[in-house]
């Protein structure tokens, strides 16, 4: 069997390696337009920052062997043609026309073809876009250019255009290298994979680390002679010795489209669960292929290296007659933002609403380990659930605490269709060095189920802020103790410590709406119950507590 794979970065090499394990006699050829093979593109920001010391580490096996054409030939008996571009596909005759580095044209026959053409950075045509020191970060070559500019001390002021995953990771890398960094985002928030109240907390953290974040700002062009020295926006000009364009990527589908393969609604190649395209002998995997959202069952586009590897394996299995399928994704993602992590999975609140769910959410900040452990760090969680079924639809986490562990549990729960009650009873591992006795995710699930059942009436930050701004006649009740007030407070709040609340109920007006809050919402929930039991009928708890309050405090 002749197997041709177009693309040699993530999904392509994974498919090739799996096919070889299943079929010792297959004739496997990988065509790669660039030089570098099977490299960890997600590691590029850490190569720029110096965390990853050598370029070779990004394209080597765990034991340090470089994945170059010789490695694939000698170890896996896979022929790799790098510096070679696939120009066209003849589906009738089952051939691929290629153009090699010396300009020569050739054709390769196939029985099965795997398209792993990846994605292409979206770079808008702007005045001055040709100037030097304007980079994208998509491949090893881009990273080398950025590193060279940084090492020559030519980049003190850096502008990152785009506030997505790569842009945020690059901000940290550049600050570590001593740069003054400005991030410019066209939309109202950075990290649009997060809900707004989570994104604003992340923005505040980045600004505390020295990154200037400009949202609702459009880049109009660039100024300079040979090298860029200014970025023009619709607000003002920004000095810049270097610009990183990180607006996003688009699936690379021209080869597929020219061959008459079906393109999906997301502009990526349409595939089935076996990763077959509209031609049963041609597969598409990785960033060029359309995905299916596991919650809604609708098409989506989520380009990630982890997904690419799984899809490559599924395609290889099907080619070799092994029953397998790739059912879809949850859009799970995580990134490091200085000493914070930002993670998400499933549907955002707005996505869930748009999909027709009756949505309830909760915010739950707490230490990721018992408070008495010196290694405890803050973890801020948001859960999104369907009121009708009480099934978890989505989860998000930010903070220095261990978000990966909680989000991975949430991924499993959403995939399995678990309810909040089932999640709250999971027999998770517990010891003080690793988690509280009631894990953060379990606590959040209990809070959310209480809200759905009506035992907990919540109110969002935005609703509280609107009441304050409008001068509404309500009581914002802070139930923390005096020592906690010294650290942070909301000026408009009335303070009655929880331990004194039962004896000071006469100070509160039963006819007024009362919104309770504390540091992490634990005391404020207790306070709400005390008030309700004393005959107060309009009591709400501010979701997320003071730790997640995104406004001035």
C-alpha to C-alpha distances, 83 to 30, 37, 99, 513, nearest whole angstrom:
11, 10, 9, 69
Instruction: Please answer whether residues 184 and 167 qualify as being in contact, where contact means their C-beta atoms are separated by less than 8 angstroms.
Output: no
Neighbouring-strand partners of residue 386: 359
Pick from 384, 379, 411, 383: nearest CA to 398: 379
Collapse the DSSP code of 482 into the 3-class scheme (helix H, G, I; strand E, B; otherwise coil) and give the result: helix
In the DSSP assignment, the letter for residue 326 is -
Nearest-angstrom CA–CA distance, 301 and 283: 17
* C-alpha of 27 from chain center: 37
Look at strands 228-233 and 112-115 and give their pairing.
unpaired
Instruction: Please answer whether residues 1 and 16 qualify as being in contact, where contact means their C-beta atoms are separated by less than 8 angstroms.
Output: no
Report which secondary-structure segment, H or E, holds 516: strand 513-517
Count helices and strands (H / E) in the chain: 16, 30
Instruction: Please answer whether residues 111 and 94 qualify as being in contact, where contact means their C-beta atoms are separated by less than 8 angstroms.
Output: yes
Dihedral in degrees, nearest 10, Cα atoms 314, 318, 324, 330: 30
In the DSSP assignment, the letter for residue 213 is E
Nearest-angstrom CA–CA distance, 481 and 485: 7
Instruction: Please answer whether residues 359 and 460 qualify as being in contact, where contact means their C-beta atoms are separated by less than 8 angstroms.
Output: no
The active-site residue, picked from 42, 179, 288, 320, is 42
Collapse the DSSP code of 145 into the 3-class scheme (helix H, G, I; strand E, B; otherwise coil) and give the result: helix
Pick from 479, 469, 453, 474: nearest CA to 539: 474
Pick from 165, 389, 421, 194: nearest CA to 295: 389
Instruction: Please answer whether residues 540 and 457 qualify as being in contact, where contact means their C-beta atoms are separated by less than 8 angstroms.
Output: yes
Nearest-angstrom CA–CA distance, 281 and 111: 7
Q: What is the largest CA-CA distance in the chain?
A: 90
The verdict on whether 179 is a catalytic residue reads no
Pick from 51, 3, 44: nearest CA to 26: 3
* C-alpha of 168 from chain center: 10
Residues 6+ apart with CB under 8 A from 527: 477, 479, 498, 501, 516, 518
By annotation, the residues acting in catalysis are 42
């Amino acid at each position: 069997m002749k197997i041709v794979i177009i693309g040699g970065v993530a999904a392509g090499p994974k498919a090739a390696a799996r096919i070889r394990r299943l079929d010792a006699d297959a004739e496997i050829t990988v065509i790669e337009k660039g030089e570098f093979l099977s490299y960890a593109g997600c590691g590029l920001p850490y190569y720029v920052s110096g965390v990853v010391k050598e370029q070779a580490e990004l394209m080597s096996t765990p034991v340090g062997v470089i994945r170059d054409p010789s490695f694939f030939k000698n170890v896996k008996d896979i022929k790799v043609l790098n510096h070679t571009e696939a120009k066209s596909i003849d589906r009738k005759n089952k051939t691929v026309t290629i153009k090699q580095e010396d300009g020569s044209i050739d054709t390769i026959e196939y029985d099965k073809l795997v398209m792993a053409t990846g994605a292409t950075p979206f770079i808008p045509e702007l005045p001055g876009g040709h100037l030097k020191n304007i980079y994208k970060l998509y491949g090893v070559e881009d990273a080398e250019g950025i590193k060279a500019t940084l090492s020559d001390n030519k980049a003190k002021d850096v502008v990152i255009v785009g506030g997505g995953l790569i842009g945020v990771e690059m901000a940290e890398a550049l600050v570590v290298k001593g740069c003054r960094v400005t991030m410019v985002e066209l939309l109202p928030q950075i990290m649009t994979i997060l809900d707004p109240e989570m994104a604003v907390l992340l923005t505040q953290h980045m600004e505390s680390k020295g990154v200037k974040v400009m949202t609702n700002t459009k880049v109009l062009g660039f100024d300079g002679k040979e090298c860029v020295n200014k970025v023009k926006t619709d607000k003002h000009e920004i000095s810049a010795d270097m610009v990183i364009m990180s607006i996003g990527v688009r699936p690379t589908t021209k080869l597929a489209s020219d061959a008459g393969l079906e393109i999906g609604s997301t502009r990526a190649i349409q595939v089935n669960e076996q990763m077959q395209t509209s031609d049963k002998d041609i597969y598409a995997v990785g960033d060029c292929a359309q995905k299916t959202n596991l919650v809604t069952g609708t098409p989506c586009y989520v380009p990630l290296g982890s997904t690419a590897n799984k899809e490559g394996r599924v395609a290889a299995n099907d080619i070799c007659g092994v029953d397998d399928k790739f059912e879809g994704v949850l859009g799970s993602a995580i990134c490091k933002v200085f000493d914070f992590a930002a993670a998400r999975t499933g549907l955002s609140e707005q996505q869930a609403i748009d999909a027709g769910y009756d949505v309830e959410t909760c915010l739950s900040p707490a230490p990721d380990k018992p408070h008495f452990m010196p290694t405890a760090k803050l973890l801020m969680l948001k859960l999104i659930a369907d009121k009708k079924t009480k099934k978890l639809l989505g989860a998000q986490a930010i903070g220095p605490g261990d978000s990966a562990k909680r989000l991975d549990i949430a991924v499993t729960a959403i995939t399995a269709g678990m309810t909040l009650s089932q999640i709250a009873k999971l027999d998770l591992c517990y010891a003080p060095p690793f988690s509280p006795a009631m894990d953060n995710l379990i606590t959040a699930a209990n809070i959310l189920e209480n809200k759905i059942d009506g035992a907990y009436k919540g109110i969002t930050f935005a609703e509280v802020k609107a009441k304050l701004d409008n001068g509404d006649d309500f009581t914002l009740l802070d139930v923390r103790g005096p020592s906690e007030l010294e650290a942070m407070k909301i000026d408009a709040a009335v303070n009655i410590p929880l331990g004194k609340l039962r004896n000071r109920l006469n100070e509160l007006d039963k006819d007024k709406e009362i919104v309770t809050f504390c540091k992490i919402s634990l005391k404020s929930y207790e306070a709400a119950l005390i008030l309700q039991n004393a005959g107060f009928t309009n009591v709400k708890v501010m979701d997320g507590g003071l730790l997640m309050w995104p406004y001035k405090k």
